[in-house]
Every structure is written in structure tokens, then in C-alpha cells.
Amino acid sequence: MNTTKFRPKTAHEDGVPQQLDRIDRAILRQLQSDASISNVSLAAKVNLSAPACLRRVERLKEMGLIRGVVALLDPKAVGAGMLVVIGVVLDRSTPESFAAFEKAAQKVVGCMECHVVTGEFDYFMLVRTKDSDSFNRLHAEQLLYLPGVRQIRSFMVLKEILSTTKFPL
């Protein structure tokens, strides 16, 4: 029985853990393109037997490289075709004000991402809504009531040039 433990994650200059070989990288590239691929098909694409491929995929999950498997929905098809980038400035820079904002931001309808940032803003949020009218309602009903906010600046995306979930490997 193999009792070898995985070493803690250490990264190369590209940020990818060192224990990944070319086959692991090929598996991850394939899964980023189509996570619904069967194990047998995946194994064929990366030149492995199906059991060996399955073991590698499970190991990649255990290592935390695969967080989950999801379906990527078309935003327009589900009534969320408008993307709005929102810059938020808080009135105080205290742990309590940051925590209160972060808790409330997670409840904003259509909020896809929220990030603490450096520079002029404290946070950037990415929000999806149906159209400008629905964004105006969201703004009036939720965004204006976020705790500790001094300023909100909204940027409606006119055209998405690139939006991807694929990491370079």
C-alpha cells in the first residue's frame, strides 16, 4: 500500500504547484474546456488508462486544484445579460466596517464577484442584471443600503471582450 503523503503546495514561477507533471496539466486543460467529459474520453485525450486517469483527477481534487465542477450558463439566456462593475469606497477603514460590508455584499442579488482592492476604491463588485432598469432598481433597493459605504461608482459594460474561467497551464 502506498502511504506517500503529498508535499505542501510549492509553486514554480508560473504559480502552478511543482508536483504537476505534463499529464496533470493536460488533464486540467481538458477539464477547463469541458468538465462534463467522461473519464474514458479524458483518459484517451491524455494517453492514460481510465483507472489511472481517474486516480489523477481524484488526486488533483485532493490537492485543491479542482475546487468544483459547474455548468457555465449564458448570462443573456438566464436574464442577466448586463454586466456592471461597481467601485465602492467605505467611509471608515476598520475591520468592523469591512466585515459588515463584506457580509452584506454577499447578499446583493446578481453579485458574481466582490474583491478588496488597492487604490482609489476599497472594493470592486461584478454584478449581473437583466438591463439598466433592473440595475436601477437594484441600486435603489440594495446598493444604497450597503453598510459603511461613502461612495459607489457604477460602470456598465458595453461590450465584453474577454471573459474566461480558464487558467493558463
Per-residue pLDDT tens for 76-118? Answer: 999 999 999 999 999 999 999 999 999 999 999 999 999 999 9
Average pLDDT score, the chain:
91
Residues in the chain: 169
What does DSSP assign to residue 108? S
130: CB partners within 8 A, 6+ apart: 79, 80, 81, 82
pLDDT band at 2 (very low <50, low <70, confident <90, very high): very low
Contact 135, 154 (CB under 8 A): yes
Q: How far apart are CA 28 and CA 33, in angstroms?
A: 9
Contact 35, 70 (CB under 8 A): yes
pLDDT band at 16 (very low <50, low <70, confident <90, very high): low
pTM: 0.83
